[in-house]
Chains A and B, each alone.
Chain A
Amino acid sequence: MEANTHLQSEPHGPPSGIMRWILTTNHKDIGTMYLIFSLIMFFVGGAMSMVIRAELFQPGLQIVEPEFFNQMTTLHGLIMVFGAIMPAGVGLANWMLPLMIGAPDMAMPRLNNWSFWLLPFAAIMLVSTLFMEGGGPNFGWTFYAPLSTTYAPPSTTYFIFAVHILGISSIMGAINIIATILNLRAPNLTMMKLPLFAWTWLITSYLLIAVMPVLAGAVTMMLFDIHFGTSFFNAAGGGDPVLFQHIFWFFGHPEVYIIILPAFGIVSSIIPTFSRKRLFGYSAMVWATASIAFLSLIVWAHHMFTVGMPLTGELFFMLATMLIAVPTGVKVFNWTATMFRGSISFETPMLFASAFLVLFTMAGFSGLMLSIAPANMQYHDTYFVVGHFHYVLVPGALFSVFAAVYYWLPKWTGYMYDEILGKVHFWLSFIGVNVTFFPMHFVGLAGMPRRIPDYALQFADFNAISSVGGFLFGVTQLLFVFIIIKCVKGGKKASAKYWDGAHGLEWSVPSPAPYHTFVRPPEIEEDKDYF
């Protein structure tokens, strides 16, 4: 601690002007840029979802053409997954991992700079397809061949290269995170003393390295099919469209866990802080995370129950999928046990984390329903699936990002955020999420297919409710931006450890965290843990 205060007094701040951000190798600057980028993409993707909900407000075609509607669903999915949620997670990792493990910076700062700066170009390339002849990608975010090859708009080539760049950025980010956690931990900070956030990011990074290259392979095969006359996915030439689905979901299912595992890490930091208890079952949490990551690699075909798999295939993928509920259950019970008889207070981060716990568990249950192969025949490609994965992604991944931002924002800005506005943001988001996505389960079970701009009359009421909820949720997020700006501009000064129940090395540095931290590694006490 003493060594740190000494170093912080040295005049060594960032250079000024725009070049600071372009050339920076500082993990805090890069983390900030990731977070701002993901916030912008969140609003771009969010605007597209508003178009979708506006069109679906009433049956019939009112606002947009079906072709444009398809482009909206496709880009909404792609942007939210690759542009909003994933960069938000990497941004939080950049900001917090070095602070949590007592490292001065990420292991490869220049690579880190490059990983970030690839993103805006990929995003511009992806969004610009909307303005090209033939329109943007319109085949759904899963881009099944031959929709994305034989029948794809010409802009698909730009989409393919955007995915390549996003993939390279993710892989480099993942390599950087693994190298940081494995090599730059403060002396004597052993792996089993690490905060869960570091553990979940370590495991997520391995998943990224395992599956992002497979996605790159899949889009490369598409590129060859489109331009070079190969027949990877073309049945007439001896290929197979079902092969595309296998390759895609070999990436796509672990991708779901790439999105949700960092959320688990965030919640594992926040729940103990506001319960004023230690995390229950730390080592079980680590093992559960690793088991989930492993299982996620062998369950991909549960997305493809209706393609005509043999019975043994259906049984294997059904049972392996259900098995994931065991480690996930371990996590949910451990969080609940952490809260049990704790001295709980509900500040905004805890509200979001508690909502995560309840709503993510619900998403898990609808996931279990979907994993039942015979029942899946009924649910497949309906709004039930849309309801399920939005419960995973919005009150799951997104709420955990909100929780993390409120939890650490004073550490970044040096000022407390407005607690009342934060709570208003939470409650409006909570109501908005449930009003939007809960009715989707009902219309899905009643048979409303996904990715359609028009629907049968009997689904009208629930869709109108969904749309109202969607607009509420969308508008509420402007409040989030306002709260952040307000907090950056000023407010009550935040102390180094402004949450009294918090643990970990990030609370040993002042708020705002100085530009350079842990230039000399912190002392790690033998019998103390740092999660």
Chain B
Amino acid sequence: MRVTPAKLGLIALAMFGFGFLMVPIYDVFCKVTGLNGKTDVNAYQYDPKIAEIDTSRKVEVQFITTKNEGMEWYFEPSIYSIKVHPGEVGVLDFIAENLTARRIIGQAIPSVTPFEVTNYLHKVECFCFATQVLGPHEKMVMPLRIIVDPNLPKHIKKLTLSYTLFDVTSFDESM
């Protein structure tokens, strides 16, 4: 008689925990499947000595930028599309300029489409690994170095790396 409610109460508590468990489950699920196009938040360890380059084909990588809620920065890649051999390092610059008279901290969040190639696009160096601070009207050139994995499925000829730029000034300074 007392056991039933106690057991049921425990189930309720466990389900409360499960609600929070959905967060890491979701992240792991997205990481394994590449859903959502979330790329690694850490730099890819690249060793030019052992890197193999697949010279038999070239893949086009396109770059897109979006400014969240009208963030007042200029934020564009120096070139909108590059062609690289899988395994070869692609290098380009992103240019950011603070168009306002106040200090703004920005955070770029990357996303790759199609989702199935998410885990085949590696970033050796990216400004998205950390927040970027720009003073009033300050301008900055941010390098990006990427590698398309040689194991990329053959039918993929083109992939897109998109960056959304968020204003995290208030968020960052309260930390």
Contact = CB atoms under 8 A, between A and B. Distances in A.
Given A175-B9, A209-B8, A238-B41, A214 B115 contact: no
Contacts of B167: 236
Interface residues of A, number: 38
A182 B2 CA distance: 12
A242 B19 contact: no
A107 B6 CA distance: 13
A497 interface: no
A229 B174 CA distance: 8
Given A210-B11, A310-B115, A236 B1 contact: no
Contacts of A214: 15-16, 18-19, 22
Nearest to A236: B166
A333 to B, nearest CB: 33
Given A229-B175, A237-B168, A243-B22, A210 B1 contact: no
Contacts of A111: 5
B17 to A, nearest CB: 8
B12 A236 contact: no
Contacts of A108: 5
Contact of B16 (A175, A178, A217, A234): A217
Contacts of A211: 15
Contacts of B15: 209-214
A310 B8 CA distance: 36
B20 A213 contact: no
B107 A236 contact: yes
Interface in A229-288: 229, 232, 234-238, 240, 242-243, 246-247, 250
B166 A213 contact: no
Contacts, number: 95
B164 interface: yes
Given A209-B15, A213-B15, A247-B19, A107 B1 contact: yes
Main secondary structure of the interface of B (DSSP, over half): helix
Question: Counting chain B CB atoms within 10 Å of each CB, which of A111, A229, A236 scores highest?
Answer: A236
A211 B14 CA distance: 11
A487 interface: no
Interface string B138-169: 00000000000000000000000000101110
A238 B41 CA distance: 9
Interface string A218-233: 1011000000010010
Given A235-B109, A240-B36, A310-B115, A216 B19 contact: yes
A307 B51 CA distance: 37
Interface in B75-113: 107, 109
A243 B16 contact: no
B42 interface: no
A246 B22 contact: yes
Contact of A237 (B19, B33, B171): B171
A18 to B, nearest CB: 29
Contacts of A243: 22-23, 26
Contact of B19 (A217, A238, A309): A217
Contacts of B168: 236-237
Q: Which 3 A-B pairs have the closest CB atoms?
A: A217-B19, A236-B166, A213-B16
Given A217-B22, A240-B30, A242-B36, 5 more contacts: A175-B8, A178-B4, A220-B19, A246-B26, A250-B22
